[in-house]
Each structure stands twice: as structure tokens, then as C-alpha cells.
């Protein structure tokens, strides 16, 4: 196994105080490796970066059209949202249109990451519920597919028809048989693959307009929904949302827990996947920004880019004391 190289450095004054190691792969439209760092064969859990793949059966089964889902619904199905009002009211309306309620979700409650929403709950002395879970859009998609398939209520069970459909889509797009799964924070199975497999899946999305069939059409609809509604995919102040807005051409971005990140570059037919081995989100955000700059779709001097790549480290008095910057290997 190839050792994970240093991808991101945290500088304080004249010293690189900390480093983050990781693996990264850029795939072309045929699934071949264009560039890589570390070990493309390393086995990973993509976590929430896989949400676009998990949403494929929602669309290619016909469930999305049968329930008149819009591009905003599809963006939410791919989202790890902040639980701001723009997210939660749409999820609630989606469930109501299905004749369902918050209790039908199986993702669990979560405190909102959106500060205004969190403060509103505190002032009202209300506890967060499952609508506030960052995966509630994905789970609304699961429930829509479940309605279409006629499955039972426990749609997150690994053997449930919904999850069997997700596994089939996952193995089809990664081009690999999954060696197993872990249970995600939202209780759904998260299937494992190689880093190359995940980059290959993103390249499938990126080249979907050159392919035929319902799955390719679904992939194109999903990445277009993300690019059209970046505010729904994550939220204000989040790397996915800010960097999608800053790119010079359509690029779909998705983070995953434990420092995973993917990118879909449709104009170039490229897919990107990266994993920071220590799980540091700051490093994953810096690394994906650096790769987008390397690929020519993001300006290094864009204010959004500089929030993540060469981002200032501030002390308690807001004095700049260092930088979070990509290592030489990424530049």
C-alpha cells in the first residue's frame, strides 16, 4: 500500500506546525486515473459524499417523476444541509405531499448547524427533531422511493428494497463490488469502495450527458440540481455551497464526514475523490479547493477559495498567526 502523502500543512509563523496526509484521485470519463496522490486502491467509506449515488434509484426508477419532484427536491436528496429555514420547510412540505410526517423518518434528530435556526429552537424551548437532521432530504428521497417500491417502514435496513437499490447503483457506478458497509450517522448503510471507485462514480456523473439510459439521465438531473441550488446542498458559509458558486464552470461538490470530498466536473468529464486520513475537515476543504484550482475551474484569489485554501489562522484577538495551505504535492 502506498503511504498517504502530506496534502495540507498548517503553518504558524515560520513553522509547519501540523500536517494532514491523504489520498486523492482524478478520473477521466472512461474511469481511468488521470492523476493520483497516495493509494487509489485504499478502501474508503464515502459517507455523505455518496448521496448523489444513493439518489440515483429515486430518479431512474421513475419515483421522482411519479411524485412530481423538482430540481430543488433532488438537490435536497443530495444534501447535507444546515437545517436553515430554506431546508427544513421544504423537507416538511415534501413529507406532507407524501402524506407522511417527521415520525416516518429514520435519520434521528440533530441540532441545526444554522445558528438562526438553532437560536430559534432555544428561544422557543423546543428540541430539534428529525427534520433538522442534515440528511433529512436524503431520507425524504428514500421515503419517496419506498412509496414507489411498496417497501416496509424500516427503509434503512440493509436488506430493505430501498437499500438494495442503493447498493446496486453504488456498485454499478463505482465499477466495483462493495466489500461491506458501515452504518452512517443517519442510520442508513454506507457502502465501502476504493478511492478509485468513488472517483470513477463521480466521472460517471460528469460524463452522463454522453451516455444513454435512465441511469445516465438520472445522474445528469442530479448534478444539475446541485449546481442550480448550491444553497440547498449545504448552506451559507459551507465549503460545498461557496465553492460551487465560485467555480468558473458548473462543478458539483459534496463533502462527507471524516474528511471525504468529491467533485463532478461535467464540462471536462472528470470525477474527483479525496480522503484525509485523520478525518480533519479543514484539510479536506483545503485539498478540494487546491485540486479545483489545479484543474483550472477555481481562481486561487477568489474570496471563497481563500476561505479554505491558504486560509488565515486567527488567534483570539483575530490576529492572523498562520495559514492552512496545500502541501507542495497538490500545487
Q: What is the CATH number of the domain that holds 300?
A: 3.40.710
Q: Give a yes or no: residue 1 inside a domain.
A: no
Q: What is the pTM of this model?
A: 0.97
pLDDT at 1: 61
Q: Give a yes or no: residue 276 inside a domain.
A: yes
C-alpha cell at 302: 477568489
CA-to-CA separations, 194 to 44, 185, 201, 253, 299, in angstroms, rounded: 6, 21, 11, 19, 30
Tell how strand 193-194 and strand 252-256 pair up: unpaired
* CA pair distance 84, 89, nearest whole angstrom: 9
pLDDT at 61: 98
Q: Give a yes or no: residue 239 inside a domain.
A: yes
pLDDT tens digit at each of 331 positions of the chain:
689 999 999 999 999 999 999 999 999 999 999 999 999 999 999 999 999 999 999 999 999 999 999 999 999 999 999 999 999 999 999 999 999 999 999 999 999 999 999 999 999 999 999 999 999 999 999 999 999 999 999 999 999 999 999 999 999 999 999 999 999 999 999 999 999 999 999 999 999 999 999 999 999 999 999 999 999 999 999 999 999 999 999 999 999 999 999 999 999 999 999 999 999 999 999 999 999 999 999 999 999 999 999 999 999 999 999 999 999 999 8
Over the stretch 94-149, which tens digit does the pLDDT of each residue have? 999 999 999 999 999 999 999 999 999 999 999 999 999 999 999 999 999 999 99
Number of H helices, E strands in the chain: 13, 12
pLDDT at 291: 98
Number of domains present in the structure of the chain = 1
> How many CB atoms sit inside 10 A of residue 149's CB?
17
* CA pair distance 234, 75, nearest whole angstrom: 10
Domain that residue 34 falls in: 6-330
* CA pair distance 158, 162, nearest whole angstrom: 9
Inter-residue contact 280 to 288 (CB < 8 Å): no
Q: Give a yes or no: residue 107 inside a domain.
A: yes
Q: Give a yes or no: residue 285 inside a domain.
A: yes
Over the stretch 224-251, which tens digit does the pLDDT of each residue have? 999 999 999 999 999 999 999 999 999 9
Q: Give a yes or no: residue 280 inside a domain.
A: yes
* CA pair distance 253, 293, nearest whole angstrom: 14
Which residues 6+ apart lie within 8 Å of 115 measured at CB? none
* CA pair distance 140, 107, nearest whole angstrom: 10
pLDDT at 331: 84
Helix or strand run (H / E) with residue 272: strand 270-276
Amino acid at each position: 500500500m502506498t503511504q498517504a502523502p502530506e496534502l495540507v500543512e498548517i503553518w504558524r509563523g515560520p513553522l509547519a506546525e501540523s500536517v494532514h496526509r491523504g489520498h486523492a484521485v482524478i478520473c477521466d470519463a472512461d474511469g481511468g486515473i488521470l492523476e493520483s496522490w497516495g493509494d487509489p486502491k485504499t478502501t474508503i467509506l464515502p459517507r455523505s459524499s455518496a448521496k448523489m449515488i444513493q439518489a440515483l434509484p429515486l430518479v431512474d426508477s421513475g419515483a421522482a417523476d411519479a411524485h412530481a419532484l423538482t430540481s430543488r427536491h433532488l438537490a435536497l436528496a443530495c444534501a447535507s444541509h444546515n437545517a436553515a429555514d430554506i431546508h427544513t420547510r421544504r423537507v416538511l412540505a415534501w413529507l406532507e405531499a407524501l402524506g407522511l410526517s417527521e415520525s416516518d423518518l429514520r435519520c434521528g434528530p440533530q441540532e441545526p448547524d444554522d445558528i438562526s435556526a438553532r437560536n430559534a429552537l432555544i428561544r422557543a424551548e423546543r428540541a430539534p427533531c428529525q427534520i433538522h437532521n442534515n440528511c433529512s432530504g436524503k431520507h425524504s428521497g428514500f421515503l419517496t422511493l419506498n412509496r414507489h417500491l411498496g417497501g416496509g417502514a424500516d427503509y434503512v435496513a440493509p436488506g430493505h428494497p430501498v437499500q438494495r437499490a442503493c447498493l446496486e447503483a453504488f456498485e454499478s457506478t463505482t465499477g466495483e463490488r462493495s466489500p461491506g458497509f458501515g452504518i452512517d450517522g443517519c442510520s442508513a448503510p454506507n457502502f465501502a469502495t476504493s478511492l478509485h471507485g468513488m472517483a470513477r462514480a463521480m466521472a460517471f456523473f460528469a460524463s452522463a450527458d454522453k451516455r444513454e439510459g435512465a441511469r445516465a439521465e438520472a445522474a445528469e438531473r442530479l448534478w444539475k440540481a446541485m449546481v442550480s441550488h448550491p444553497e440547498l446542498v449545504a448552506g451559507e458559509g459551507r465549503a460545498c455551497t461557496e465553492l460551487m458558486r465560485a467555480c468558473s464552470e458548473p462543478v458539483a461538490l459534496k463533502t462527507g464526514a471524516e474528511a471525504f470530498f468529491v467533485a463532478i466536473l461535467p464540462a471536462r468529464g472528470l470525477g474527483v475523490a479525496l480522503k484525509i486520513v485523520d478525518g480533519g475537515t479543514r484539510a479536506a476543504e483545503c485539498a478540494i479547493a487546491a485540486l479545483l484550482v489545479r484543474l483550472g475551474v477555481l481562481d486561487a484569489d477568489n474570496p471563497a477559495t481563500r476561505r479554505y485554501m491558504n486560509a488565515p489562522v486567527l488567534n483570539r484577538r483575530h490576529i492572523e498567526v498562520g495559514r492552512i495551505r496545500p502541501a507542495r504535492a497538490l500545487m
